[in-house]
Amino acid sequence: GIQPLIFMSLFSYHIYFVPGMSFHIFHQTYFDSLIRGQVKTASTVVNNKEINFLVADQPVLEYYKDITGCRLSGYGVRLGTTQVNPETCSTDSCSLSAVGTSIPCSDGEYCNGHGSCKPKEICTVTGPTVIDFRGQMNSVSDRCEYSLLHDQSTGFSLKANFLERRRRDVSFVDSLTLDFSDSEDIQLLQGHRVTVTGSPVTLTGSVQTFSGVDISKDQKGVNASISLQGSSFSVLFDGTTVQIFINGESYSGLCENSSSFSSSRLSSNDRCNVLKSAPFSSCNADVDPQPYIMACNETLSKYPDVDGLRCQFLEAYAKACSWKSQANLQNWETEAQCSNSTVMCESKTCSDHEFCGEINGITGCLCRANFASQYKNSITFGGPTVCEHNSASVTLVGCLLEERGIDYSLLGLLDKTCEGQMDEKTHMVTFNFTSDSCGTIVTTNNSQVIFTNAVTLKNEITRKDHAYIEFSCIYKKPEVNHVAFRIQDSPVVQRVTSGTWNHTVTMKAFADASRTQMLDPSHKVRLNQKVWVELKSSGLDENLISMVTDSCWATNQQSSESTQKYFLIQNGCANLADQTVQVERNGDGILNYFSFNMFKFNDESGDVYLHCKLQLCLKQEGNCIPVCKRRRRSAKYNKKDTAFLSMGWST
């Protein structure tokens, strides 16, 4: 008899389903003797054995159920039937020959998730929020660039850049980029400005075409219209809100499908619910106000209602209504208490670290939060003072001054004729001064020289915050290092560095009083011949510093401390015992010279080494010129930090 092997259910297309029937394994030789129509080829495993034929024990076709069909959108569709997928709104059909077709929502429509295709709405981007074509809202929480629309076939993208304003944790749509993969990029910027491939263009009320994009400007903002392979869309950007209306194919991007990054958070703030009241209520049937109310409340729960922020959301809704409805929303600004609606900033151009906002009811450029934090944390109006050798500068941040209501043109240094200069691009204000200008105060202590100045108001009275910004430059007191000169190399020039002071010291010998015939190794100096020695420094501020020749002496050995010494100058004055020595200039600037008659020591060396000790003197501390008398001399300069220089003579 026939032994049952297993009860089976076959769910493959074109296989008969026979519930509760016994099957047996037969070989190919028995195929022709089987009941016609009861055998189908299968690649099936029964009891871990692969079989080629399944044959019913008896002809029971009345128990067979044909489920042959098509698999569409993840579902099975029976032959000769049509059904609608509620999740995708696609109409799926399977013909009698098992050919499947799927028809989605048409271009310009979207699926509401309940089996109905709805016409696409307007995509609105205002503040940090995106309300997409389906009316869904998504909040952008970072300062990045996002694709609002992207066409895979052409490579075109409409990108929105989000930046912070008063707070670092809330970003706002700041600019748009129409990015073409094979053509010029177009940017829509703040202040109704437009650039094409980085170059600004001048717009008027007339339509101008760039890379196939029609662009125009009016008091509402910048309009851009474009057509791509049979579809078209329009963009309006006023500096705070982007609105996009599309007609044609679907695109990818935030405007096409915006899902919330985090749970929507509703605020008890009723100021945004005015969208459900007159005159906005006349448009509620055409444009759902709830996404706009949610966007408004969520933003205002994290950001203060400044710069007309609440009114931006109300105006965005009013503009959407003008696209979709015939409702009359005239004078909505009065009903909503929005004066002039959104801050347009049409005639105000701010720098990259600024944004246009309201300051005491007046439109101005305010600092972006990230940029301003470095100054506000240290309670300053700008960077540190930049100190050079004998000059300095200080740079103040224009938007920080503007936020405090301070007009930079009313500021000056202690000498009020010294004014700041504003950079037209960055709006940074720079004040420059030197040690002897703009009222700079020079003071000293034991080891430092201090330049002090201040930025203050030029007016005698003010009704705003008083501005007084003091700044200083501190330098190490100058000193001359020990250097050695030899007449064989005359003239010798050497660079001397001492702290922040850099200058050049030169020592020369001359054969004439006008110091035009310089002595060098080719000249022979006879005994008792008059010689002029010049000491000169360059690179120092002569208005601030003088060089004083404190003393000069001769030795018969190279060391300045040799036992045998002969003084030519002592305490800044000529040796009275040697009538040939004349100090002709000393202490009134950076050039000194004196003369003496050549001599030699009474030994066999034949060498004379001349050594001079120099002192730098700050003129502000007193008279630097030594006062020489017959028995004594006095000079008001500090004798500390002296230095030596030497010149060797070979006879």
How confident is the model over 526-563, as pLDDT tens digits? 888 899 999 888 877 888 888 888 889 888 888 888 88
Find the range with the poorest average confidence among 170-184, 485-499, 531-545.
Answer: 485-499
Residue that is written with structure tokens 């600019």 in the block: 175
What integer pLDDT is reported at residue 34 of this predicted model?
39
Q: What is the C-alpha to C-alpha distance for residues 633 and 172, in angstroms, rounded to an integer?
A: 75
Q: Is the peptide bond before 491 cis (omega within 30 degrees of 0)?
A: yes
- Position 125 scores a pLDDT of 94
pLDDT at 284: 93
23-24, strands of its sheet edge to edge: 23-24, 49-56, 40-46
Q: Is 579 helix (H, G, I), strand (E, B) or coil?
A: coil
Assigned token pair, 301: 């729960």
Per mean pLDDT, which range of 45-54, 252-261, 386-395, 584-593 is the poorest? 45-54
**What is the distance between the alpha carbons of residues 544 and 116, in angstroms, rounded to a whole number?**
87
CA distance 625 to 91: 106
Query: To which residue do tokens 């662009």 refer?
Result: 215
Out of 246-250, 308-312, 403-407, 511-515, pick the least confident: 246-250
Residue 6 φ/ψ region, left for φ over 0, alpha for ψ in the -120 to 50 degree band, beta for the rest: beta
> Structure tokens of 15?
């296989």
643 vs 379: CA distance, rounded Å: 44
- The proportion of the chain whose per-residue pLDDT surpasses 70, expressed as a percent, equals 76
Percent of the chain residues topping a pLDDT of 90: 17
Q: Which domains does the chain have, with CATH numbers?
A: 120-344 (no CATH), 385-476 (2.60.40.3210), 494-628+637-649 (2.60.40.4100)
Fill in the amino acid letter for 398.
G
At residue 594, the pLDDT reads: 93
Of the candidate ranges 140-144, 186-190, 434-438, 580-584, the one whose mean pLDDT is the lowest: 140-144
- Alpha-carbon distance 356 to 370, whole Å? 15
Question: How big is the CA angle at 98 (ends 95 and 101), to the nearest 5 degrees?
Answer: 60
Instruction: Please report the pLDDT score of residue 270 as a whole number.
Output: 63
Token pair belonging to 228 = 């791509």
d(CA 585, CA 361): 66
Q: Which of 92-101, 116-125, 543-552 has the lowest mean pLDDT?
A: 116-125
SS3 216: strand
Are residues 299 and 128 in contact, defined by beta-carbon separation less than 8 angstroms?
yes
pTM of the entire predicted model: 0.46
Radius of gyration of the chain (CA): 46
Identify the residue with better confidence: 118 or 44. Answer: 118
Q: What values do phi and psi take at 372, rounded to 5? A: -75, -20
